[in-house]
Chain A
């Protein structure tokens, strides 16, 4: 405890360090406010478009059900409540999905046309400040922790005062953790207040926010351990700083990006145009509903006629055109789902492979964990697409059923149905659910926590010589 107070005193004397932590608190607060206000603007405009879109859908006049199925409905992906801490994949994912007959995920439009890819060192979110910038600042605060003491002979002086290496290590570790906790508390209380303004008291969100802070805390602890270890093994402050800067660039900038490239090379993703053309080809290989001589639809027609024990489509108790539409929709949807699931599996394999690099750099697993807690991960974005697609299929199936049962086959195109029919169909109600943390993410984190314990054990056993 005595050495902790000494260490604290040393830090208090250095105005520069207090200034740095103070400035960082201000930057964190500014970042939270900027992202929170942007999130509010975006939410407001999404709310406007949701209302307008529902109004347009419900305001449709009496019309043919097939026209309704092509009129389409826009599914709007809501923003995660914690996206002002970590916007995650949100700036990259489409926010608006146009749903209509025969088409799956056809037009996914982003809220902003500007790509965040310009920012090569990451989006300026609070989470990036914690994951990228904060380790760099701890490096500046702590690179000389041991190396500088070696240089100045202060370490020997501390030993002569009865100080053990473990006391020095824990005191330095505790001071840097104290800085981290100050930042975490500032972030937590500002964020919790803003959440309360937006969503009222929500224990689930508060728990997620707390878990995020805990994750940032553990991540900082890993970096503090790395810094103290490298500082101990460096002969001078400058050597320690150089080494730490190289470690920072390697672990946080180069390795994550290199791992991504390796992952993409191992599990290639098809281009959208190729993906669509493969689906088209498969759909057409089954049958073409517009071709009267098409073998599949001729057989299907015969089966339908046999089922209803009639000889001509005109004698069917249901509208043949609606039946064909429903069958066409079933075929395209099944084929799309098959390919979409393959794609999803491919992404899962990519994630699984990529997560292995989490054993080399803590950034990868901790990034993933934060994304999961803030509900801004890939799986949450894809869940929206998947739920929207299911909604689309149900909606179009209902409209095709109306086409089959409520529209007469004679003068099919000339008939209209009352708008009351589609006003009764429930609209898409989607809310974000947080995904469970994956084992592939947790294992590297566990290893990194063991690393902290090992570093502590090392300093506990080591003597100043």
Chain B
């Protein structure tokens, strides 16, 4: 077994096509690392710019000492809210660049501010990003197929199959050939991960181990799929065709069906629904009876009930109460909108290991749609907490001192870790299934086919 292994390794090293393929794959991985780092830095720089601007604004308001009105400050002061990227987002940016991860939030209605799209060249979104999700989950399987799926068919075409079977068990030879290739690809992955870990701010923690394990499992799965196809003993053309059909189904067809299944009419227009409702309630309130509107607000929020009655002049407490009212009115619709953002829970998605692995890696890198949903929810909660800070100035006429602006809480958000058990069970099932299929093909059908060929020869 050892002898065959080393012989196969020597053969592979002498195969210039395979070597070039590995070198190209490694180079592309390094390019993706550089691209990812550049994107990550751009995000951090943007946040820094916004922080500087915010500090300048706070300083400006503080320079006005106690003369400034809290109502005006709350109206104008835009606090930065940043979904701090996990260093793993360098590798798996997911949906991060299609979402507003950096925002300026004022004390107006939160839902009138936080929904929208980032500035980007829309045609770039259409083409998509170059990242490790693409490289490892979509290009890698095709590479595995190109280098392994014809290993039996090619030997047969060159007339070496019978010769090989006389030297050793062909199963052992093919198995060793696959193991050598699997080990080389895994080494490239480890190399890239260690380069990434030493040159980028990636921590060597449980996430590192999880990502390495997922990647190894994923690579192994595609080797198993390739082995199943190879042991069908078809010709090279048929083997590659079957492998490519599997690849297209897992990488494009099933994800497309998953996407189409999520594009039901229920999901359309929830965004515009709550946006219109929120704006309408807020703007209509200027023409309604302000006193009764405020009374209704105080009934719903008894905490602020001990406030003075509303006078005839404009009062900030009424204004902010209406902003909050408009948010409350659309709360349920927003919850529905948030739940529709999470796009992984369809049966179709479980049929594609690419899609499942992609969502797991994006979850680990905090760049999935569900992470963004959690971020928006945290933003809404933080906005609510900040209202608690400002409302005593409007409702209880609390004395304003400019130093209090330093006490405004910054937005901090860390997504919680997602359960890993479901994924582990999925992987276990996938391995059991593929190994079972391989067993059937190699030891039963394959054996029969080889015997038949040998007899006829």
Chain A residues proximal to chain B, CB less than 8 Å: 34, 38, 41-42, 45, 49, 52-53, 56, 61, 63-64, 67, 70-72, 74, 88-89, 92-96, 98, 100, 106-124, 132-133, 136, 140, 143-144, 236-238, 241-242, 245-246, 249, 253-254, 256-258, 260-261, 263-265, 268-277, 280-281, 290, 343, 347, 350-351, 354, 367-368, 371, 377-378, 381-382, 413, 416
With A89-B122, A269-B121, A378-B121 as known contacts, state yes or no: A119 contacts B98, CB within 8 Å: no
- Which chain B residue lies CB-closest to A53? B276
Q: Which of B120, B272, B287 contacts A109 (CB 8 A)?
A: B272
Is B115 an interface position by the 8 A CB rule?
yes
A264 neighbours in B (Cβ, 8 Å): 39, 121, 124
Q: Is the interface of B mostly helix, strand, loop or mixed?
A: helix
With A121-B138, A261-B130, A273-B102 as known contacts, state yes or no: A74 contacts B124, CB within 8 Å: no
With A124-B256, A272-B116 as known contacts, state yes or no: A89 contacts B137, CB within 8 Å: no
Is B129 an interface position by the 8 A CB rule?
yes
Give the complex CA separation of A237 and B340 in angstroms: 48
A350 neighbours in B (Cβ, 8 Å): 121, 124
Q: Which of A52, A71, A270 contacts B283 (CB 8 A)?
A: A71
B72 neighbours in A (Cβ, 8 Å): 290
Give the complex CA separation of A238 and B276 in angstroms: 60
A74 with B272: CB separation less than 8 A:
yes
Give the complex CA separation of A271 and B47 in angstroms: 9
B221-229, B261-269, B315-323 - interface stretch: B261-269
Give the complex CA separation of A454 and B448 in angstroms: 51
A378 neighbours in B (Cβ, 8 Å): 121-123
Q: Which of B117, B123, B126 contacts A351 (CB 8 A)?
A: B123
B115 with A109: CB separation less than 8 A:
yes
- Which chain A residue lies CB-closest to B337? A113
Q: Which of A61, A117, A347 contacts B287 (CB 8 A)?
A: A61
Q: How many residues of B contact A (CB 8 A)?
A: 91
Chain B residues proximal to chain A, CB less than 8 Å: 17, 21, 28, 31, 35, 38-39, 42-43, 46, 49-50, 53, 72, 78, 80, 94-95, 98-100, 102-104, 112, 115-130, 133-134, 137-139, 142, 146, 150, 153-154, 157, 236-237, 240-241, 244, 248, 251-253, 255-256, 258-260, 262-263, 265, 267-272, 275-276, 279-280, 283-284, 286-287, 314, 337, 340-341, 343, 355, 358, 369
A241 with B240: CB separation less than 8 A:
yes
Give the complex CA separation of A106 and B139 in angstroms: 39
A72 with B279: CB separation less than 8 A:
yes
Give the complex CA separation of A291 and B207 in angstroms: 53
A106 neighbours in B (Cβ, 8 Å): 116
Give the complex CA separation of A265 and B122 in angstroms: 16
Distance between A89 CB and nearest chain B CB, rounded to angstroms: 4
A144 with B237: CB separation less than 8 A:
yes
B134 neighbours in A (Cβ, 8 Å): 120, 253, 257
Closest 10 CB pairs of A and B: A124-B256, A89-B122, A109-B271, A257-B130, A271-B46, A92-B125, A71-B283, A96-B272, A261-B35, A273-B102
A72 neighbours in B (Cβ, 8 Å): 279, 283
- Which chain B residue lies CB-closest to A416? B287
Report 25 cross-chain contacts, Cβ distance below 8 Å, ordered by A residue.
A52-B276, A63-B286, A92-B117, A110-B117, A111-B268, A113-B267, A113-B337, A113-B340, A114-B259, A120-B358, A121-B252, A123-B256, A236-B157, A238-B240, A254-B28, A254-B139, A261-B130, A265-B35, A273-B46, A277-B49, A277-B78, A281-B53, A351-B121, A351-B123, A382-B122
B256 with A119: CB separation less than 8 A:
yes
With A112-B263, A114-B267 as known contacts, state yes or no: A260 contacts B124, CB within 8 Å: yes
With A120-B358, A242-B17 as known contacts, state yes or no: A92 contacts B279, CB within 8 Å: no
A115 neighbours in B (Cβ, 8 Å): 95, 98-99, 343, 369
A107 with B116: CB separation less than 8 A:
yes
A117 with B125: CB separation less than 8 A:
yes
B154 with A96: CB separation less than 8 A:
no
Q: Which of B104, B157, B263 contacts A114 (CB 8 A)?
A: B263
With A106-B116, A120-B128, A245-B142 as known contacts, state yes or no: A238 contacts B154, CB within 8 Å: yes
Give the complex CA separation of A278 and B119 in angstroms: 14
With A120-B134, A122-B128, A277-B78 as known contacts, state yes or no: A113 contacts B358, CB within 8 Å: no
Give the complex CA separation of A382 and B42 in angstroms: 24
A124 with B260: CB separation less than 8 A:
yes
B244 neighbours in A (Cβ, 8 Å): 136, 140, 245
With A133-B248, A256-B127 as known contacts, state yes or no: A119 contacts B275, CB within 8 Å: no
Distance between B310 CB and nearest chain A CB, rounded to angstroms: 15
B236 with A237: CB separation less than 8 A:
yes
B275 neighbours in A (Cβ, 8 Å): 74, 96, 98, 107, 109
Distance between B201 CB and nearest chain A CB, rounded to angstroms: 20
Give the complex CA separation of A382 and B122 in angstroms: 9
Distance between B90 CB and nearest chain A CB, rounded to angstroms: 13
A280 with B28: CB separation less than 8 A:
no
A273 with B50: CB separation less than 8 A:
yes
Q: Which of B43, B252, B340 contacts A122 (CB 8 A)?
A: B252
Give the complex CA separation of A123 and B295 in angstroms: 51
B99 neighbours in A (Cβ, 8 Å): 115
B116 with A93: CB separation less than 8 A:
no
With A109-B271, A413-B314 as known contacts, state yes or no: A94 contacts B252, CB within 8 Å: no
B270 neighbours in A (Cβ, 8 Å): 113
Interface centre among B104, B137, B138, B268 (most CB of A within 10 A): B268
B259 with A113: CB separation less than 8 A:
no
Give the complex CA separation of A268 and B43 in angstroms: 11
- Which chain B residue lies CB-closest to A121? B252
